[in-house]
Every structure is written in structure tokens, then in C-alpha cells.
Structure 1
Amino acid sequence: MPVTTCIFDAYGTLFDVSAAARNAAAEPGAGKLADTWQALAESWRIKQLSYSWLRAVTGQHADFWQLTQDALDWSLEAHGLDGDAALRARLLALYHELQAYPEVPTMLAALKARGLATAILSNGSPGMLEGAVSSAGLGAVLDDCLSVESVGIFKPARAVYDLVGQRFGCAPCEVLFVSSNGWDAAAAASYGFTTAWVNRKGEPVDRLPGQPHHVLTDLARIPELEVF
């Protein structure tokens, strides 16, 4: 059965999660951040994901915006930047308007031109996703933004992937799921989706039960995959 529905993870897949720290570091008066922004961005992302998994396992859910703040606070302290309230506020403001990767608008427009449904499925809270989609100008090429907040648990819980069929009335085999997170692509493959892992860093494939069906270096080739 051909794919009818293309679902994308948001952070790190459509939106560049390093952009907030990178852009803040380029602003006047960035100080120490100018030298440490890459390390800060990496630890911020790692802690953000780690907190989502730990909260899912322990049943102590909080929305992704809270996790984003908690992860930033840890990272600022780890890199000797805690205590700078203005920097913290600026980084969080920039996270609400993350840049999309350059190939994203054209790729999504190509999928829509073929009559395919397109949507985001993300750990992000609705407000976060709305801000990112709006600032990137992607509203016209996305049919919906599905947030884990409707089920109260983070990926890779199966209840999250269930949201796709509930929204679009499609079987798992009709879905192409795209993520930059290897664990997310693996879990979605185990669920029954056809998956594409956007492996921007050239990392090894995760040793997990599911395996991505396609491994790409960016999103440009998504419309060319022989799944439609």
C-alpha cells in the first residue's frame, strides 16, 4: 500500500535546535557564549531529551517547554553561564522561533503538490510548535501539528504514534515517518511506519529492535523516495 501521509518530527528534523544558541552568540555582547555556544547547544539538547525519557519512565509528565527550560538551566550552570537572566530569557525567546533547515520549505511543498498529507508529530507543546511553524513560514505546507500533550507522555511511547492514525484515518503502512533522532525512527519502524532517519551527523545506526528503512543526510530527497 503506498504512502499517503508524511509525518515529521520537529526539533532537529525540520527545525535547527542549535539555532537559538548560535544566533544568541552572534549578537553584540555575547561574551563567553560566543566561545561556548556549540557545547551549550549540544548539552541543552541532550538534557532535554534525557528529561523526556526519564519523565516518561517515572510517570512524572511535564510539558516540553518546562523540560526545555530545565535543560537550559542545567546547561547554563554546566558551562559557567548561570546567573545571567538576560541570556536565559534571550535563548528561550530564540527557541520559540527556531530556523527551519534550508531544504524544508521546498521539500514540504513538493509533497503537498503530490497530494500527500503532511504533519508534525512532536514532543513539543502546542505553543512551542505554533511559534516554530509560524516563524519558519510553514503553515501553508503542513496539515497539522500533533503534540504529545494530548496523551501526556513523550516519544517513543506507542500512544504518541497512535495519534497519526487517529488524526488522518490511515494505517501505519500508509505513513512515512521522518526523524533526525535514530531512536525515534527505530521506534516508529517497530510501530509499523515506513521510516526515514535524517542522519545529519553521520552517526551509527542505533542497536534497537526497529531499524530505519531509509537513511539520509538531509531532507531534500524525501520526495524522491520510492514509497509513494
Structure 2
Amino acid sequence: MRHSAYVFDAYGTLFDVHAAVRRHAEDIGPDSQALSEIWRAKQLEYSWVRTLMGAYADFWELTEQALDFAFHKVPSADPALRDRLLDSYWHLDCYPEVPAVLKALKADGARLAILSNGSPAMLEAAVHSAALDNVIDEVFSVDSIKRFKTDPSVYDLVTTGWRLYPAAVSFQSSNRWDIAGATKFGFRTVWINRTGQPDEYRDMPPGLILPSLEGLLIAG
């Protein structure tokens, strides 16, 4: 067995955050990619700012607010598509390798969890839509503590909930800032750098960098 506990970020790591816009790209027009990137960037920004302010709002509310901002920034996109895009966000595609990798780790005896900014309802819908119900042992949502990543209390949800030392957890995320927070907390971290982004937060390096989750089955 490779590790006893594997914990995964959800959005961008297991589930493709740009899938919602991509499904409606033809209706949105040539600026669909810009809309998607702004939507994602503001969604994250709102989570960080609200945690610093101590003014929590659940991730679905932030997702709605971020999309509204994106429509204002991309006037070529029709706001009438708002409901369709939000509905699609409840059923995001998972990345192609995800089911097979998680099943292989599960078959090896590992415990698998999601640790996410997402609200419980969002995560339940995403897991069910991707048919991952039978491989994910537990879903940890920040909603239980009303603070977003990278607050250390978020990562402590796993160690407290599963009664583990941080070093016993292999934590996977595609978000470099998330990897920095998890590394500082003491997790063994794996940065899933799907798009070949340059490294940052060099004083909090990941234990491993992989282009996809498939490398977990090789790297151990």
C-alpha cells in the first residue's frame, strides 16, 4: 500500500471548474474562456477576502456572485445564460483519470477523502454526478468551520476527524496556493499541475509535482 490516507481538493483537482462554461461555449461566444477564467478567479478571491474579514458566506453564494461579476466584465456574454451555467456547475465533469485512480487507491486499502471549500450540497452533487460515491470515504467541507482555505483550521478537519498526524496524509491539489497551505500545515503534498504553471511559494514546496493524478499510482 502506498499511503493510508489520500485527501483530494475538489474543484480543479477532481472536477473541472471550466466544464460548466465549456458546455455552453457556443452560446456564450468567443469570450467564453475569459468568462470562465474571471468566474473562477473571483470565486477564489471572495473566499480569501471573506476569511480575512471574518465574514463567511458559503461557496455557492460566492460562486453566484463571482459569475455575476464575470458577466459585467465580459459584456459580450448574455446574462440570460446565468441559470444554465449555475445549473451546470452542480454537475461538473471529473477529469478523465479520476475514477480509475481513486478506485485503484481504494483497492489498495487507502482511505479517501475530499477536503474542499465547496458547500456540502455542492460536493454531494459533484460526487454523485461523477459516480464517486462508492470510493470516497468522507467529504470534509469548510462549511463546518465557516473559514476557507488556506486557514490552518481547514486542514485540521482531516487530522482531527480521522485522528491522524499531518505527515500521515497525502494531500493532492491543483491549486498551488492550496498546496502551500497544506505543506505549511504538515501534510505530504502533491501538486497536480495540469496546465504547466510556474512554481510559486517556493518556501513551501510540494513534496511532488505531477501533471495528473495518474502519477500517484506510480510515485507511491
Deviations 1:105-136 (A, max 9, x none): 00000100110000100000000001111111
- TM-score, normalised relative to structure 2: 0.96
Number of residue pairs the alignment of both structures matches: 219
Paired position in structure 1 for 2:148: 154
Match of 2:216 among 216, 219, 222: 222
Paired position in structure 2 for 1:95: 89
Paired position in structure 2 for 1:197: 191
Query: Secondary structure at the residue paired with 1:119?
Result: strand
Q: Does 1:11 align with 2:11?
A: yes
- TM-score, normalised relative to structure 1: 0.93
Match of 2:41 among 27, 46, 49: 46
Alpha-carbon spacing, 1:208–1:156, altered in 2? closer, same or farther (3 Å): farther
Tell me the distance in 2 between the aligned counterparts of 1:171 and 1:116.
Answer: 16
Tell me the distance in 1 between the aligned counterparts of 2:203 and 2:129.
Answer: 36
Query: Secondary structure at the residue paired with 2:191?
Result: strand
Q: 8 Å contact 2:31–2:77 — kept in the other structure?
A: no
Tell me the distance in 1 between the aligned counterparts of 2:39 and 2:94.
Answer: 18
Tell me the distance in 2 between the aligned counterparts of 1:83 and 1:59.
Answer: 34
Match of 1:60 among 42, 55, 61: 55
Q: 8 Å contact 2:171–2:189 — kept in the other structure?
A: yes
Structure 1 position 81, deviation (Å)? 5.1
Tell me the distance in 2 between the aligned counterparts of 1:99 and 1:125.
Answer: 17
Structure 1 position 83, deviation (Å)? 6.5
Matches within 5 A, 1:36-185: 36-80=31-75, 84-85=79-80, 87-185=81-179
Tell me the distance in 2 between the aligned counterparts of 1:167 and 1:224.
Answer: 28
Q: 8 Å contact 1:9–1:121 — kept in the other structure?
A: yes
Letter aligned with residue 77 of structure 1: H
Query: Secondary structure at the residue paired with 1:56?
Result: helix
CA RMSD in angstroms comes to 1.3
Q: 8 Å contact 1:3–1:173 — kept in the other structure?
A: no
Tell me the distance in 2 between the aligned counterparts of 1:38 and 1:77.
Answer: 15
Q: 8 Å contact 1:45–1:71 — kept in the other structure?
A: yes
Q: 8 Å contact 2:31–2:76 — kept in the other structure?
A: no
Structure 1: give runs of 5+ residues left out of the alignment.
Answer: none
Paired position in structure 2 for 1:187: 181
Structure 1 position 155, deviation (Å)? 0.2
Query: Secondary structure at the residue paired with 1:13?
Result: coil
Deviations 1:53-101 (A, max 9, x none): 000111111000000001000001110157733x100000000000000
Letter aligned with residue 12 of structure 2: G
Q: Does 1:210 align with 2:204?
A: yes
Q: 8 Å contact 2:4–2:110 — kept in the other structure?
A: yes
Deviations 1:166-213 (A, max 9, x none): 221211111000000001011101111000001111111112531111
Paired position in structure 2 for 1:24: 24
Q: 8 Å contact 1:190–1:209 — kept in the other structure?
A: no
Q: 8 Å contact 1:73–1:82 — kept in the other structure?
A: no
